[in-house]
Amino acid sequence: MSPKGDDNVMAYISISNPAFPTRPRQRSKWGCLTCRKRRKKCNERRPRCADCSRHSLNCTWPDQGSARISVTVASIESSPPKGSSPSGWKKRHDTSHPLSLVVPPNTRPCGLKSTLEQALFHHFIQDFLPLLVHPEAHPGFSDLHELYATGLQHPWIMETFLAMASLHISQISNSLDTVAYNYYNTAIGVVRRKIESGDVEGTEDWLLASTVFFYLFEEWSANVSSNLMHHLEAAAQLFKLRRARGFSVESSSTTLAFHRVVAESFLYHVATMSLLHEDLNRLSAKFSWADLEYGLNSVPFPDASTTANSPIIGQNPGLYQLMFDITRLSSLVPLQGDDYLEALKYQDELRKWSSTNRVAIDEQGAEFVFSDALYIISLQIFLLKLLYPEILTSNPHIQLLIQRAIVLIRGSLGTTTNSIHLCWPIFILACSIDSPADMLLLKEKLVELWKGSLCGQVRRWATVIGRMWKVKEEMSNKGIVTVDSFNCSDGLDLLIHRKSFLSDLKI
């Protein structure tokens, strides 16, 4: 059972813990940037809102270009992460980097208006982008010439690059928080106006790239809520539209690497965010897996391995498709008819994945292979609960799977800074385990993932897991707890009845 009264264990994951620096809940969506930063209600009165007037604050609005906070390059360089930053922050310029020939360290690249923007773009390419690509990917995916050229051709995309860099730095120091949202809102405003004016067909590569960076911004933001799913749904519609209009990589001016990256990014995010989304049927209606085939089947580097040609996922995309499809079934428990047969089919697929993965571990031993193993085990636990709703965490088969997963986490996982994808299986395991030692291990892993990435999505996962563990603690005291109008007596029940954890957590 979960530990009773163990304040040290339960508090460890709390977002009030210094390992997860807190930010007040956002209370203003369309108000001034000052109120957004302070998470206060804004009456949206221009040029100076009521709250800023009352507190004698500088009232800044998204469309005021002169309102960006003036921060020197020195202030960025002198704000190192206090023991919790990605290792890449220590190295400010690497002459071996593919873009070093394009962006020398002591010059201001074309399209960047100030030394601040130069420093932000430098941080974007040197420190942020490497967090998005797994270490085994082909070096060609790190060739950023095309990305830089796209930013020059479409300035609002450059705004998203600068927004991402500002946001990443602001996880350590709030000094760039307003700057990040200013860039972000400017970019969104430009794209919105282009769509409203009819200048967009929907198949433009720049539009898809913009949408990808919009949901990345929301993913990395440390706010309690985000618009991540809103942008994912927009990307889903774009993929569907591109396929409907006969789009092909041959007709595109961008490289195969671009199409592989955006397709994998979308697949990864819809799969890993599925547990936090309340209406997967609505999302799944906006696209089909066939819409992604042109990108997922692209082989940018024919002489390289399958793994090297997969920049984000690292393996066959089928496992991530399975994650999404299994999670969608969880809203239909108890499964009946075709849904039950579909779940049995998924169970057979997982057995095959498990066999293939064991061979890959023996032959390769790369971290993403161990990550896949953790995903497979977590999916097996999840699917057993969907097929047999009465199954408990004490079931011998469940316990065996948990033990295998814990061994993986204690051993070979989470050693790289782009391991934030582990949050999904960690949530499944968090519902399944009762051992205080195992709970502590998962909490330590979440803190490690936060320190290695500074990704806000890790904090949101921690919030959900913290809420879920409080319910488990209540179960240990009362035996039965009502969750989503259902009587729950076991941690695995919370895999199905999880909406209450998301009640005010807009993903």
In a domain, 72, yes or no: no
Centre a 10 Å sphere on the Cβ of residue 38 and count the other Cβ atoms it contains.
Answer: 18
What are the strands, taking DSSP E only, across 449-496? Answer: 481-483, 486-488
Count Cα atoms within 13 angstroms, Cβ side, for 59. Answer: 18
Task: Determine the 3-state secondary structure of 8 from DSSP.
Answer: helix
Give the Cα separation of 268 and 311 in Å (integer).
11
Give the Cα separation of 422 and 430 in Å (integer).
12
Give the Cα separation of 197 and 179 in Å (integer).
27
In a domain, 143, yes or no: yes
Is residue 418's pLDDT more than 90? Answer: no
Which letter, b or e, does each residue of 84-113 get, where b requires 16 or more Cβ atoms within 10 Å of its Cβ? bbbebbeeeeeeebebeeebeeeeebeebe
Most confident by average pLDDT, 131-140, 141-150, 396-405, 498-507: 396-405
pLDDT in tens, 39-64: 677 777 777 787 777 777 878 776 43
Averaged pLDDT, 461-475 = 89
Helices 205-220, 228-244: crossing angle, 10 deg rounding? 160
Range of the domain at 253: 95-312
Tokens found for residue 150: 């796209």
Helices 396-411, 436-453: crossing angle, 10 deg rounding? 40
In a domain, 305, yes or no: yes
In a domain, 292, yes or no: yes
First to last CA, the chain: 30
> Which pLDDT value is given to residue 171?
85
**Contact at 8 Å (CB) between 354 and 124?**
no
Counted domains in the chain? 1
- From the list 426, 489, 482, 428, the residue with the least C-alpha distance to 458 is 426
In a domain, 246, yes or no: yes
Instruction: Please give the mean pLDDT across all residues of the chain.
Output: 79
> Which pLDDT value is given to residue 98?
37
In a domain, 418, yes or no: no
Give the Cα separation of 6 and 360 in Å (integer).
40
Phi-psi region of 360 (alpha: psi -120 to 50; beta: other; left: phi over 0): alpha
> Which pLDDT value is given to residue 266?
97
> Which pLDDT value is given to residue 406?
94
Averaged pLDDT, 272-286 = 84
pLDDT in tens, 398-410: 999 999 999 988 8
In a domain, 337, yes or no: no
- From the list 377, 376, 378, the residue with the least C-alpha distance to 319 is 376
Tell how far CA 94 is from the center of its chain.
Answer: 27
- From the list 63, 62, 73, the residue with the least C-alpha distance to 34 is 62
Task: Name the helix (H) or strand (E) containing 373.
Answer: helix 367-387
In a domain, 29, yes or no: no
Angle at 265 between CA 180 and CA 202, to 5 degrees: 80
> Which pLDDT value is given to residue 365?
52
Residue type, 321: Q
pTM for the full predicted model = 0.78
> Which pLDDT value is given to residue 360?
66
Give the Cα separation of 174 and 55 in Å (integer).
19
